[in-house]
Structure 1
Amino acid sequence: MRLRFTKWGGKRHHGAELVYLGADDHGDWLGDPVGNRWSGGPNSFVSVTDNVLLVPHGRGLTAMFYGEHPDQAFELYVDITTVPVWDGDLVTAVDLDLDVIRRFDGSWYVDDEDEFAEHQVLYGYPPDLVVAAEAECARVVDEIRSGAPVLADETAAPWRAVFASLKAG
């Protein structure tokens, strides 16, 4: 299956081929294999570990849970987006710049707030989109601070096992 992010107005951002793993109460889970190429945005990159991506139902975000590796700086990368849309084996969402990132040591930060402010003007984000993105970002921050299960590595662990099993064959 494919995940494709755009910027507001349809400008291509980035995407990749992923493996559908299944769904639970938190949403749909996708596998991102080591060596997978993410392209189409300003920077292409290759996954250095096997990762799992959560696409929550009805929420404006995706959450990538990364495996440990010397070249991998963070454990969790949450993209604040429009609510992802499924169309067969394609998932699309508009990347709204804000990211919440948790490092392996448990520290976290909100990234690209300056880009979010700049793009509100550059791309003409509607006011309701800005409010929704800020609210989703605040919710994610609260979930990380409180250790909410939806963004806990323990929630991703069973999906890592499913992915490893699929890869093993």
Structure 2
Amino acid sequence: MSKEKMSLVDGTCAERFSWPVEQLGQDEHGTWLGARRGNPVRQPDGRREEAQAHDAVWLVAAGAWCLPAFWFTDTTDLTIDICTPPRLDGGVWSFVDLELDLFRSADGCAGIVDQHEFDELALSGHLTDGQVAAATEAARSLLSLVQMEAEPFGGAARAWLRSLRS
């Protein structure tokens, strides 16, 4: 587990969220990462660490302002962090969480959450207008894909989750 600081375009520093994962492979959607239940997850402030509650796979698409996490539990199919494009450095994947999130519950209900936290971040001066626009557009465009269960938000992740468990 590690954390690092990165400068946002406006010069302020934000801690990057990172956690240990296994690289499962790549397909037309991007790079698939996985971690089993119990995996340590440290919050960006470094003060709190939790055990991952469920097996999960993540999808890293080159240059995307998001990180989808596929859980497929009794309550949650997926969550998506709107974030700076994830990057791999020294074997560790990391990103800066921009607070805006999407979800799809197991019953198919989908939506955007934490809009208020994102709005506060956007007004804080820590993000450029371009970063705000990129994050907002990512959330807006992803929501319709998640609702329609368009790939990779349909069944593609289930095969990667099976491979993690095997």
TM-score range, shorter chain: 0.7 to 0.9
Counterpart residue identity of residue 156, structure 1: A
Give distance in 1, aligned partners of 2:27 and 2:3.
Answer: 22
Residue 17 of structure 2 contacts residue 94 of structure 2 at CA under 8 Å; is this kept in 1? no
Q: Name the counterpart of 1:45.
A: 50
Aligned counterpart for 2:38 among listed residues 35, 40, 53: 35
Q: Does 1:77 align with 2:79?
A: yes
Query: Equivalent residue of 1:151, what SS?
Result: coil
Separation in 2 of the partners of 1:109 and 1:5?
30
1:20 deviation in Å?
0.8
SS of residue matched to 2:54: coil
Superposition RMSD in Å = 2.2
| Runs ≥4 residues deviating over 6 A | none
What is the DSSP-based 3-state SS (H/G/I as helix, E as strand, rest coil) of the residue aligned with 1:11? Answer: strand
Q: Distance in 1 between matches of 2:44 and 2:54?
A: 20
The number of residue pairs the alignment matches comes to: 160
Matched-pair identity in %: 26
TM-score (structure 2 length as normaliser):
0.85
Q: Secondary structure at the match of 2:44?
A: coil
Matched, 1:18 2:18: no
Q: When you count helix as a share of all residues, which structure comes out higher?
A: 1
Q: How does the TM-score come out when normalised to structure 1?
A: 0.84
The 3-state SS of whatever aligns with 1:160 is helix
**Pairing of 1:125-136 with structure 2 (within 5 A):** 125-136=127-138
Matches within 5 A, 1:142-161: 142-152=144-154, 154-161=155-162
Unaligned runs of 5+ in 2: none
Conserved 8 A contact 2:80-2:102: yes
Structure 1 unaligned blocks of 5 or more = none
1:102-148, CA deviations, whole angstroms, 9 ceiling, x for partnerless residues?
A: 11111012011000110112242100111110100011111112221
